[in-house]
């Protein structure tokens, strides 16, 4: 039996009251649905250079046993599925590193800082239903925002590693 720690949406909690990440998560190599946003929701992410740097960084993450599955870069936020080995601080450190690498690319393209909202939202995927709900939300995002006619038409999305869950979600 797996036990799961609660994960909170920290976006709506004032800074002084933010909850801390739980120290233990009793799932081997949990898969997270992660979202993080640009500062003031600036639309700076949907360009080929940012996408290329994102893909390279996420591809190299496997050296640290961190695997990125499906992802979607929207103009002002990023969604991704990521498998991270315990302890859960690895996820925070990795997201911080990803933001830093993307910021470096944005600065080189003339985009001034700040680039990111503080923190990120993460949700541990505990069931097939949870996976499917997040997947459906992600698939519909670019269409819902009228950026593409169909999910497959949005150029700033893809998959770095097959995480297993993604295959089941594609059938739904």
Q: How do the domains of the chain map onto residue ranges? A: 25-170
> Does residue 3 surpass a pLDDT of 60?
no
Split at pLDDT 50, 70, 90, the class of 168 is very low
- Runs of H (alpha helix) within the chain: 48-60, 89-108, 128-144, 165-170
Q: What is the predicted pLDDT for the residue at 38?
A: 98
pTM of the model: 0.79
Residue carrying the six token digits 């690319």: 105
Q: How many CA atoms lie within 13 A of 82 on its CB side?
A: 28
DSSP per-residue letters across 66-114: -EEEEEEE-SSEEEEEEE-PSSTHHHHHHHHHHHHHHHHHHHHTTPPSP
> Does residue 7 surpass a pLDDT of 60?
no
**CA dist., res. 72 & res. 74, Å (int):** 6
End-to-end CA distance of the chain: 26
Architecture of the domain whose range is 25-170: 2-Layer Sandwich (3.30)
User: Each residue of 37-54: pLDDT tens digit?
Assistant: 999 999 999 999 999 999
> Does residue 19 surpass a pLDDT of 60?
no
> Does residue 64 surpass a pLDDT of 90?
no
**CA dist., res. 131 & res. 138, Å (int):** 11
Split at pLDDT 50, 70, 90, the class of 138 is confident
Q: In the chain, what percentage of residues exceed pLDDT 70?
A: 77
Q: What is the predicted pLDDT for the residue at 133?
A: 84
- Of 72-76, 142-146, 165-169, the one with minimum mean pLDDT is 165-169
Who wins on pLDDT, 102 or 151? 102
Q: What is the predicted pLDDT for the residue at 155?
A: 95
User: Each residue of 78-129: pLDDT tens digit?
Assistant: 999 999 887 777 899 999 999 999 999 999 999 999 999 999 999 888 776 6
Who wins on pLDDT, 168 or 134? 134
């Amino acid at each position: 039996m797996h036990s799961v720690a609660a994960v909170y949406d920290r976006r709506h909690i004032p800074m002084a009251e933010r909850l801390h990440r739980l120290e233990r998560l009793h799932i081997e190599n949990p898969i997270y649905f992660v979202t993080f946003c640009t500062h003031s929701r600036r639309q700076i992410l949907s360009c080929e250079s940012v996408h290329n740097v994102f893909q390279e960084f996420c591809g190299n993450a496997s050296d640290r046993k961190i695997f990125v599955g499906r992802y979607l870069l929207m103009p002002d936020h990023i969604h991704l599925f990521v498998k991270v080995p315990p302890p859960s601080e690895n996820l925070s450190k990795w997201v911080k590193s990803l933001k830093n690498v993307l910021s470096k690319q944005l600065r080189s393209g003339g985009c001034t800082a700040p680039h990111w909202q503080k923190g990120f939202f993460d949700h541990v995927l505990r069931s097939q239903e949870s996976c499917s709900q997040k997947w459906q939300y992600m698939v519909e995002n670019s269409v819902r925002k009228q950026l593409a006619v169909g999910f497959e038409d949005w150029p700033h999305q893809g998959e770095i590693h097959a995480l297993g869950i993604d295959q089941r979600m594609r059938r739904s």
